[in-house]
């Protein structure tokens, strides 16, 4: 029962570096999401996908890119890392078309940009 798996769990980046946060789910969920959580703040939606080949911006997409080539994988790309991107990143997935569908989260990636 892997659920949603994120890698890496921790990462320190230098300003200007790039990286990809990996997310994969084995529940055959259509919907996948990337959130970031800053201290004392709620989760903010970065990007989401309603199915393979379909992605769209959330509330805070600047500085990030995503792709969804398969149902299982939804990587998040950070280009030109900035200190403002220091945060905890959560990937999540859920079933399509269920009003009370539960969102399942990965364990998170703690990213520090220095």
Using CB under 8 A, list all residues that contact another protein: 31, 33, 35, 40-43, 45, 48, 50, 58, 90, 94, 96, 99-103, 105-108
Q: Are 44 and 35 in contact (CB under 8 A)?
A: yes
Comparing CB distances to another protein, the nearer of 20 and 104 is 104
Structural contact between residues 107 and 52, judged by C-beta atoms closer than 8 angstroms: no
CA distance 30 to 1: 18
Least Cβ distance, residue 21 to another protein (angstroms): 14
Instruction: Give, as one character, the DSSP assignment of residue 56.
Output: E
Task: Please identify, using beta-carbon distances, which residue of 19 and 103 lies nearer to another protein.
Answer: 103
CB of 69 to another protein, least distance (A): 19
């Amino acid at each position: 029962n892997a659920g949603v798996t994120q890698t890496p769990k921790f990462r320190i980046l230098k300003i200007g570096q790039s990286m990809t946060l990996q997310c994969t789910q084995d529940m055959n969920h259509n919907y996948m999401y990337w959130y970031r959580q800053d201290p004392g703040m709620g989760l903010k939606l970065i990007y989401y996908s309603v199915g393979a080949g379909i992605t769209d911006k959330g509330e805070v997409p600047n500085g990030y890119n995503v792709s969804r080539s398969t149902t299982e994988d939804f990587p998040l790309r950070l280009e030109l890392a900035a200190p403002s991107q220091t945060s905890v990143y959560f990937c999540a997935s859920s079933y399509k078309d269920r009003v009370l569908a539960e969102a399942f989260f990965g364990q998170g990636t703690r990213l520090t940009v220095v």
